[in-house]
Structure 1
């Protein structure tokens, strides 16, 4: 397990697990949202493909994302392990709501200097709306990719509950 992709729906805890896994195994942690968002106004990194390709050329890393469409196949082709946080909606939604509420209230600086605002809660792009509306499609996409023969060499770890993830991580 040297090139790991941590996948799941928005709010499942991908970043937290990937960061902890990287620390435990000595893997370089790559935060996909930080690579994707390049600056204020949620500007997108125009060099995303080149940046990600350069980073995942390295031998030891962990990435916290299914992958944005521009780099999704690249990540899946270069990974040797996929850890799927396959949690139910009843687990994910309270997590994403608490996280977004905290970020909005504290004005926490996020990727590219951006912040979640009260106005953002009205947008379909807001993490809470996104998590709800994309839940089923994201789960299907991950399942489809894990069955895809192109990715057959991948070792897959599917974790259905946060306590399963905690126990798995502790066992490493």
Structure 2
């Protein structure tokens, strides 16, 4: 376990989990949202995004923990990826966490990533087509189907898939990794 991708739906805890795992394994953590989002919620064009990610991956010689899904980066990740950890939590838990997080971030106005000025607002979180909550609702079942299919696909048999279905399982996994 040296080249790892943490995936899961919105508000599943990918960032927290990847931070803890990278620290435990002494690997570089790469937050893909930080590479993707530009100021004022502008998206980095795909070719630039892939180049940014490639650079970060190349400089992490000892290994990396990627935080994020981003299907557009799959071909690049697949070159070295040896482990995919899927935080596959229930719809109700992801929905609850999405709403709680959106409210907290809209109140605090904390910057979401180091490389951009983006902040959540009540309007963006709850009343717009760009709502992260709406995105979670639309993609929860699609993501589950996608990752289940990947786990069963012989083309990816060289990747160790770890499916964690609760925060308790995730905490136990981190504890086991720390004991190794």
TM-score of Structure 1 vs Structure 2, range by shorter chain: over 0.9
Counterpart for residue 44 of structure 2: 45
Alignment of 1:147-162 (within 5 A): 147-162=152-167
Q: Which residues in structure 2 correspond to 1:132-143 (within 5 Å)?
A: 132-143=137-148
Aligned to 2:75: 73
Partner of 1:34: 34
Q: Which runs of 5+ in 2 are unaligned?
A: none
Quote the residue 1:2 is aligned against.
2
1:114 aligns with 2:118: yes
Query: Equivalent residue for 1:169?
Result: 174
Relative to the length of structure 1, the TM-score reads: 0.93
Secondary structure in structure 2 of the residue aligned to 1:44: coil
Aligned pairs (5 A) from 1:78-117? 78-111=80-113, 112-117=116-121
Q: Measured at CA, do residues 69 and 81 of structure 1 come closer, stay the same or move farther in structure 2, by a change above 3 Å?
A: closer
Cα deviation 1:130-157 (Å, max 9, x = unaligned): 1111100011111122223332101111
| Paired positions, count | 170
> Does 1:131 find its partner at 2:131?
no
**Residue of 58, 63, 66 corresponding to 1:63:** 66
**Runs of at least 4 residues of structure 1 off by over 6 A?**
none
